[in-house]
Structure 1
Amino acid sequence: MSGTRITFHTGQDQQPEALARVVDHVRAQLSGTALADLTSARRPLFAGIGASFAALAVPVEVLRAHAVPAQRVLASEIEDGLAGFDTDVLVGVSQSGRSSETLAAFRASGAVRTAAVLNVTPSPLADLADVAVDLGNEPDSYASTIGFTATVVALDLVAGALAGRAGDAWDGIAGRLRTVRERAAATIEPLRARAAACVAADCVASGASRASAEEAALLLREVPRVPAAASATRNYLHGEMESAGNTLHLVFGDGREIGLARSLSDAGHLTLLVTTRDVEPGEHLGVVRLPDTEGPGPRVVLETAVVQELVQALSAERDVPVEAFVFANDDTKEGGVDPGDFAIASPELTTGS
Structure 2
Amino acid sequence: MVDARNTGPAASPQPIKEIVLERLPFRDAVAQQPQALREALVSLRRTLQTSDLAALRAGTIAIVGIGASFYAGLVAAAQFRRQGLRAFAFAGGELYDAADNAADAYIAVSASGRSVEPAKAAGLRDKAVTIGIAKTAESPLAAAVGTMIGTGSGIDSGPNTTSYLGSLLALGLIADREGQPSNTNWDALADDFETLGTTIADSVRKASALLAGKRSIDCVGANAQLGTAGYAALLLREAVRVPAQNWDTLNYLHGPMEPNDANTGVILFGDGRERQLAEDLSGFGIPTVLVTSASVDDRENLVVIRIPATKNGILAAIYAALPTQIMMQDLAEGVGLPKCEFRYRQTDTKLPLADHA
Aligned to 1:314: 331
Aligned to 1:291: 308
Among residues 311, 318, 341, which one is paired with 1:301 in the alignment? 318
Which of 197-206 and 186-195 deviates more? 186-195
Aligned residues: 335
Among residues 112, 118, 122, which one is paired with 2:134 in the alignment? 118
Among residues 33, 39, 53, which one is paired with 1:21 in the alignment? 39
The 3 A distance-change label for structure 1 pair 266 and 166 is closer
Aligned to 1:143: 159
Letter of the 2:205 counterpart:
E
Can you list the C-alpha shifts for 1:69-107, whole angstroms capped at 9, x where unaligned? Answer: 21111111112225242x211110111211111121122
2:298 is equivalent to residue 281 of structure 1 = yes
Cα pair 1:200 1:226 within 8 Å, conserved = yes
Among residues 271, 280, 283, which one is paired with 1:254 in the alignment? 271
Aligned to 1:45: 62
The 3 A distance-change label for structure 1 pair 167 and 34 is farther
SS in 2 for 1:243: coil
Q: CA deviation at 1:172?
A: 1.5
Q: Taking structure 2 as the reference length, what is the TM-score of the superposition?
A: 0.89
Can you list the C-alpha shifts for 1:144-184, whole angstroms capped at 9, x where unaligned? Answer: 11111111111111222221426533222122222332333
Aligned to 2:215: 199
- Supply the distance in 1 between the matched residues of 2:99 and 2:214 (Cα, whole angstroms): 42
Among residues 265, 282, 296, which one is paired with 1:265 in the alignment? 282
- Supply the distance in 2 between the matched residues of 1:331 and 1:67 (Cα, whole angstroms): 37
SS in 2 for 1:38: helix
Aligned to 2:8: none
Cα pair 1:157 1:168 within 8 Å, conserved = no
The 3 A distance-change label for structure 1 pair 254 and 260 is same
SS in 2 for 1:278: coil
Aligned to 2:27: 9
Aligned to 1:344: none
Aligned to 2:12: none
Q: CA deviation at 1:36?
A: 4.5
The 3 A distance-change label for structure 1 pair 82 and 308 is farther
2:255 is equivalent to residue 239 of structure 1 = yes
Matched-pair identity in %: 32
- Supply the distance in 2 between the matched residues of 1:214 and 1:19 (Cα, whole angstroms): 22
Aligned to 1:154: 170
SS in 1 for 2:23: coil
Ranges in structure 2 where 5+ consecutive residues have no aligned partner: 1-18
- Supply the distance in 2 between the matched residues of 1:24 and 1:168 (Cα, whole angstroms): 16
- Supply the distance in 1 between the matched residues of 2:109 and 2:199 (Cα, whole angstroms): 31
Cα pair 2:53 2:178 within 8 Å, conserved = no
SS in 2 for 1:70: strand
Aligned to 2:232: 216
Q: Which runs of 4+ in 1 moved over 6 A?
A: none
- Supply the distance in 1 between the matched residues of 2:171 and 2:178 (Cα, whole angstroms): 10
The 3 A distance-change label for structure 1 pair 60 and 186 is same
SS in 2 for 1:226: coil
2:346 is equivalent to residue 329 of structure 1 = yes
Cα pair 1:272 1:288 within 8 Å, conserved = yes
Aligned to 1:173: 189
Q: CA deviation at 1:256?
A: 0.4
Can you list the C-alpha shifts for 1:208-249, whole angstroms capped at 9, x where unaligned? Answer: 111210000000111111110000001001111111121111
Letter of the 2:38 counterpart:
A
- Supply the distance in 1 between the matched residues of 2:161 and 2:91 (Cα, whole angstroms): 21
Among residues 210, 225, 231, which one is paired with 2:241 in the alignment? 225
SS in 2 for 1:223: helix
Aligned to 2:98: 81
Which of 211-220 and 74-83 deviates more? 74-83
The 3 A distance-change label for structure 1 pair 306 and 103 is same
- Supply the distance in 1 between the matched residues of 2:82 and 2:62 (Cα, whole angstroms): 16
Q: Taking structure 1 as the reference length, what is the TM-score of the superposition?
A: 0.90
- Supply the distance in 1 between the matched residues of 2:228 and 2:152 (Cα, whole angstroms): 23
Q: CA deviation at 1:199?
A: 0.2
RMSD: 1.9
Ranges in structure 1 where 5+ consecutive residues have no aligned partner: 337-353
SS in 1 for 2:214: coil
Which of 126-135 and 5-14 deviates more? 126-135
SS in 2 for 1:19: helix
Q: CA deviation at 1:196?
A: 1.6
Letter of the 2:334 counterpart:
E
